[in-house]
Amino acid sequence: MTQRKTFLKVLAAMGSFVLFCAPSLAQHESLAPPVGELPLDELRTFADVFNQIRLGYVEEVDDSTLLEYAIRGMLTGLDPHSVYLTRDAFEDLQTSTSGEFSGLGLEVNMESGYLKVIAPIDGSPAADAGIQSGDVILKLDSVPIKGLSLNKAVEKMRGPKGSEIVVTIGRSGEPAPFDLTLTRDTIRVASVRERWLEPGFGYVRISQFQKTTGQDVRNSVEKLQEDQELKGLVLDLRNNPGGVLGASVDVAGLFMEGGTVVYTEGRLDNSARDYDATSTDLLDGAPIVVLINGGSASASEIVAGALQDHSRAIIMGTRSFGKGSVQTVLPISESRAVKLTTALYFTPNGRSIQAEGIQPDVLVDRARVETFDESGRISEKDLDGHLDNDDAQEAIDAEASRGLIRSDNQLYEALTLLKGLNILGPRRTPELPAGHQTAAAATSTPGA
């Protein structure tokens, strides 16, 4: 009789949950599909387990808490991106897309019970401390991550500005985990910045896709164009964890003459959507090289995939992260919501990004490159009475190139390719076979 009462109580609670959710879901374009018959045998099993826990667990847990745990468990078992959002977590989600929050500045994902770093945010305490894409966070203030939910782990990393936290890192190639003491700060994510690499060749870095990123990229490109003609552009999406879908569509559209940027497919009727470019090419066909790596995810992959499929840019670097799923936030009350994976992204040519990522046209691993010491060789300028060259700009450019190849060999390769395309002309980006690899990449040491 007790089990029957518990079973009825659980069913009543679930029924109330469905009825309570219905108005909220209706406000979101009828996202819920028709509900079929409830699996009564499985619900009886659930009710039995629920009753055993509430009667026999070493500490008393109220029914509402147990039901909340059950909801969390259902979502956790689906995929890493479907989560139950409390008020604080919901506010954090909104904050991250607005570009300002207090914490360490990390984009993370839960993998095998541990936090894996997708990418540090530029200029954040995490980036300044040297945390890298692919690092695994094992402990926070000596508390093991194993067993914590993603929300709880992120909550522990957030905190007041100026407060410290000890992060225990596991890194491939390191003999043992090591500790880093980080000071939390207000993370103001300037999602876009620009500069000149050399006269005529510009550089735009997008660190995260926020609501205004499309307009910010337009402003950056126009700022460069006001200074001088753009012969080519490097668009740097490395370690960009993604963000707002609409912003990625806006950015890709800035460099396209119309056409599909990305489309989505899912079980819900309104999850099948096409997203098209609505602007015209800001660069008027000038060549583009897009840099990606294993920290480039989601919206970054949308931009890279669209420009690659439209043969508008050459993609360079290493394979991207492969986060090709769409999450929809479904409010279930005034203070709680569910972030549920509802669709998958596809590039204009129909390639799924999920778990595959974007394969670059030109493979270039990040490497430590040292120039060969030729100080012992004699050149014309070493001869007595040689004629001077008043134009020193070539020497200045050569020295800048040597500095760039030592500090960022991938960016150096991108600039070199842009210069070659500009010499060959006309102003268009040629198609390269996927998987093409430069000699520099083939002889470098991956991951050094």
Q: Which residues are catalytic?
A: 298, 309, 323
CA angle 101, 104, 107 (to 5 degrees): 85
Helix (H) or strand (E) holding 11: helix 2-26
- C-alpha distance from residue 48 to each of 61, 174, 223 (Å): 16, 47, 65
Beta bridge partners of 327: 341
The encoded tokens of residue 409 equal 């060999």
One-letter amino acid of 66: L
Cβ atoms of 154 and 101 closer than 8 Å: no
The Cα 166–Cα 178 span in angstroms is 10
Q: How are the residues of the chain apportioned to helix, strand and coil, as percentages rounded to the nearest 5?
A: 35, 25, 40
The Cα 334–Cα 86 span in angstroms is 10
3-state secondary structure at position 271: helix
Using omega within 30 degrees of 0 as the cis cutoff, is the peptide bond preceding 426 cis?
A: yes
Helix (H) or strand (E) holding 114: strand 114-120
Cβ atoms of 349 and 312 closer than 8 Å: no
- For helices 2-26 and 63-76, angle between their N-to-C axes, nearest 10 degrees: 60
User: Scanning the structure block, which residue is given the tokens 């970054």?
Assistant: 300
Cβ atoms of 231 and 283 closer than 8 Å: no
